[in-house]
């Protein structure tokens, strides 16, 4: 039986590499989103601490300048939080795009692997048919030889 050879092996290899690249890209996207999410959480905690400090200062005697400083810091942190939330939204959109690319690459690879499996099964079935045919011919030839010897 001759060995199975898949004619699209090079394409299969390329698609496997493409899938690996999209997986790496997706992992980078997940890291980007995680960093952005952590930055948003840190900015929110900073705003909460500014609120707490401002509330504490209001209970104490403070100058108008101190209150303005806290309000400015609070406004800056809120602005920073909005920017970080926008960055997080971009990271999530990019992650969805990368997830789609990864799924698409996986589907293309799966289709090619299914094709290879079907071709391999067809090759094996053909080899079994040939082997059975040769066995039938051999048995038939032996039968003819045995009957020929009996006749002589």
pLDDT at 28: 96
- Nearest one of 94, 10, 83, 14 to 42, comparing CA atoms: 83
68 CB-near residues (< 8 Å, 6+ apart): none
- Nearest one of 43, 22, 28, 30 to 92, comparing CA atoms: 30
pLDDT at 1: 66
pLDDT at 152: 62
pLDDT at 86: 96
pLDDT at 112: 94
pTM higher than the cut 0.85: no
In this structure, are residues 70 and 53 in contact, taking their beta carbons and an 8 Å threshold?
A: yes
CA 24 – CA 9 distance, rounded (Å): 23
**Segments of the chain with pLDDT less than 50:** none
pLDDT at 70: 77
pLDDT at 17: 96
CA 58 – CA 68 distance, rounded (Å): 12
95 CB-near residues (< 8 Å, 6+ apart): 26, 29, 30, 32, 33
DSSP structure class, residue 5? -
- What domains are there in the chain, each with its CATH number? 9-112 (1.10.287.1700)
DSSP string, 67-135: HHHHHHHHHHHHHHHHHHHHHHHHHHHHHHHHHHHHHHHHHHHHHHHHHHHHHHHHHHHHHHHHHHHHH
């Amino acid at each position: 039986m001759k060995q199975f050879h898949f004619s699209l092996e090079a394409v299969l290899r390329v698609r496997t590499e493409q899938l690996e690249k999209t997986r790496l890209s997706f992992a980078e996207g997940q890291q980007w989103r995680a960093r952005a999410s952590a930055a948003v959480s840190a900015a929110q905690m900073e705003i909460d601490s500014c609120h707490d400090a401002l509330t504490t200062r209001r209970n104490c005697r403070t100058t108008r300048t101190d209150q303005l400083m806290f309000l400015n810091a609070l406004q800056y942190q809120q602005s920073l939080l909005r920017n970080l939330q926008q960055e997080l939204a971009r990271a999530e959109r990019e992650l969805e795009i990368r997830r789609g690319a990864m799924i698409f690459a996986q589907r293309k690879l799966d289709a090619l692997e299914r094709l290879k499996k079907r071709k391999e099964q067809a090759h094996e079935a053909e080899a079994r048919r040939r082997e059975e045919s040769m066995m039938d011919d051999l048995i038939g030839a032996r039968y003819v030889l045995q009957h020929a010897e009996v006749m002589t």
